[in-house]
Structure 1
Amino acid sequence: MPSDHPQPAFVLVRPQMGENIGAAARAMWNFGLDRMRLVAPRDGWPNPAADALASGAGRLLDEAQLFGDTASAVADCTYVLATTARSRDLTKPVVSPEQAMRLAAARIGQGEKVAVLFGPERAGLENADIARANAIVSVPVNPDFASLNLAQCVLLTAYEWRRQTGHVADEVNAPGSSGWASGHEVEKLAEHYQDRLAEAGFFFPETKADSMKLNLRNLWSRMPLTRADVQMLHGIMRQMVRWKQRGD
């Protein structure tokens, strides 16, 4: 059964190769989408060639809805987006994938049903398909090589859906199982290094010693140290002192 999460239906219009349908299913499921609709697949349906490329997303293929034409595939939808890389003579709003999924999320949040159309591999959607859409999704690709693989286009759109509907951290810096070092632990590490370096005569000449110690202490505060890091750095310094003592 499809998941309970409200989401758009991804409609593959007249897809040609089963492998691309399978790869599109995998791309959808990567980002939590599982409403696939197929319009008149060239090689019929079901297609065994799709299973190999689905790679764990076979459920989407099993539950995919089959339609004879685009009109019937979007008949229950109140808002339809059409992906195309080519300029068209049809007058419609043209939006980026990001804006498209922002609009989709807003409308779905209001209880509407949204569909996204993806065209066949050879030439993309026909004007007759796009005429049934409310807006066109245009990907900012290289104008000298604008063609996107079907699964690539599905993945790009699914990623934008995920960005609009789920928390996507711009950066994650996790400390691991040991956790971040406390201020006290970093202070003790700084004192350890400062004391041993002073014994080694590192802070020379004396007129610069204070600024060197300040720079060293500032270095520790700039480093995002974990408790494991602190323990390792203590160990490194202790071992260097032992090695020096053995050489004396």
Structure 2
Amino acid sequence: MTAAQPVFVLVRPQMGENIGAAARAMWNFGLDRMRLVAPRDGWPNPRAVALASGAGRLLDNAGIHATTAEAVADCDYVFATTARPRGLTKPVVTPEQAMTETRALLAEGRRVAVLFGPERAGLENDDIARANAIVNVPVNPDFASLNLGQCVLLSAYEWRRQTADILPERLELAGADPASQIEVEKLAEHYEERLSEAGFFFPETKAPGMKIALRNMWSRMPLTRPDVQILHGVLRQLTRARSRGE
């Protein structure tokens, strides 16, 4: 893993299962720096290992601290995640904004931490007072409670989304080659010819526009070579059936 990444600090986590789920979420998105502040059930915790599901190395290397102040002592900038207003004057950002700022800070050589509170009530004001900014997830105001693992996953996802080379959209062709322009052209001609024989282009005055619309439809479709072969075969079979009067 790259050294330029934020530290995720779980403050007084109550359940080993949630620590493990948080580790798994972090590792899913390429983060491996975890710190724990006074875990309720002590450490190490076998329940955390069970839920980490392959991300046990994060737990093995996690830093254990007695207080939040100790956990973030070497950090230059700290975000605190909370779903509730706390009466503290601080910048409030979304997870997306927080990770954008994190990336910029890390690029300057600064160390960044993100605090996540315990499951029952979240971070206390004493924890948040040590942060430079608050991360607020835009959840349903009538049900704002997020599981610890979910909150970690949201932040980790935003980190990965902004740092990985991810295409906005891609087509999985399952090993098939895309159809060439000439193959799509021949398919369009085949259908146009057979549809003309069947009297599809009616009335005649609308035929040119209908043909253009069909050509446009074929060009929009991400066809593979097997797709083209199947569509040719479908039309041939329909034509044979029609000629037999079926």
**TM-score range normalised by the length of the shorter chain:** over 0.9
Matches within 5 A, 1:50-61: 50-61=48-59
Match of 1:227 among 219, 222, 225: 225
1:5 positional shift: 4.4
Q: CA deviation at 1:237?
A: 1.0
TM-score scaled to structure 2, two decimals?
A: 0.93
Counting only pairs closer than 5 Å after superposition, residues 129-208 of structure 1 correspond to structure 2 as 129-208=127-206
Q: Which segment is superposed worse, 235-244 or 195-204?
A: 195-204
Structure 2 match to 1:103: 101
Task: Give 1:29-40 correspondences, 5 Å limit.
Answer: 29-40=27-38
Deviation per CA, 1:6-41: give whole Å up to 9, x if none. Answer: 210100011000000011111111111110100110
Matching residue within 83, 86, 100 for 2:84? 86
Task: Give, in whole Å, the separation in 2 of the partners of 1:52 and 1:243.
Answer: 61
1:171–1:80 CA distance, 2 compared to 1 (3 A): same
Letter in 1 for 2:33: R
Query: Cα RMSD over matched residues?
Result: 1.7
How far does the alpha carbon of each residue in 1:182-202 deviate from its partner, in whole angstroms, 9 at most, with x for none? 221111011111222223333
Match of 1:65 among 63, 66, 75: 63
Deviations 1:110-147 (A, max 9, x none): 11111101111111111111111111111112222221
**1:9 aligns to what?**
7
Deviations 1:174-220 (A, max 9, x none): 44422222221111011111222223333344444333333322321
- Deviations along 1:24-59, one digit per CA (max 9) or x if unpaired, are 111111111110100110000000111221112111
Which aligned pairs between 1:18-37 and structure 2 lie closer than 5 A? Answer: 18-37=16-35
Shift of 1:74: 0.8
Higher alpha-carbon deviation: 193-202 or 63-72: 193-202
SS across alignment from 2:123: coil
Question: Which residue in the other structure is 1:49 paired with?
Answer: 47
Secondary structure of 2:109 counterpart? coil
Q: Which 10-residue stretch deviates more, 162-171 or 179-188?
A: 162-171
> What is the CA–CA distance in structure 2 between the aligned matches of 1:133 and 1:120, rounded to whole Å?
16
- TM-score, normalised via structure 1 length: 0.92
- For 1:69, the aligned partner's letter is T
Find the residue that maps to 1:125 and give its secondary structure.
coil
Gaps of 5+ in 1: none
Give the Cα–Cα distance (whole angstroms) in 1 for the partners of residues 125 and 208 of structure 2. Answer: 74
Q: What letter corresponds to residue 143 of structure 2 in structure 1?
A: F
How many residues align? The count is 246
How far apart in 1 are the matches of 2:219 and 2:9? Answer: 53
Tell me the distance in 2 between the aligned counterparts of 1:161 and 1:207: 57
Measure the CA separation in 2 of the matches of 1:77 and 1:5.
14
Q: Aligned AA for 1:39? A: V
Q: Does 1:239 align with 2:237?
A: yes
Q: Could you say if the C-alpha distance between residues 78 and 207 of structure 1 is closer, same or farther in structure 2, counting changes exceeding 3 Å?
A: closer
4+ runs of 1 displaced by more than 4 Å? none
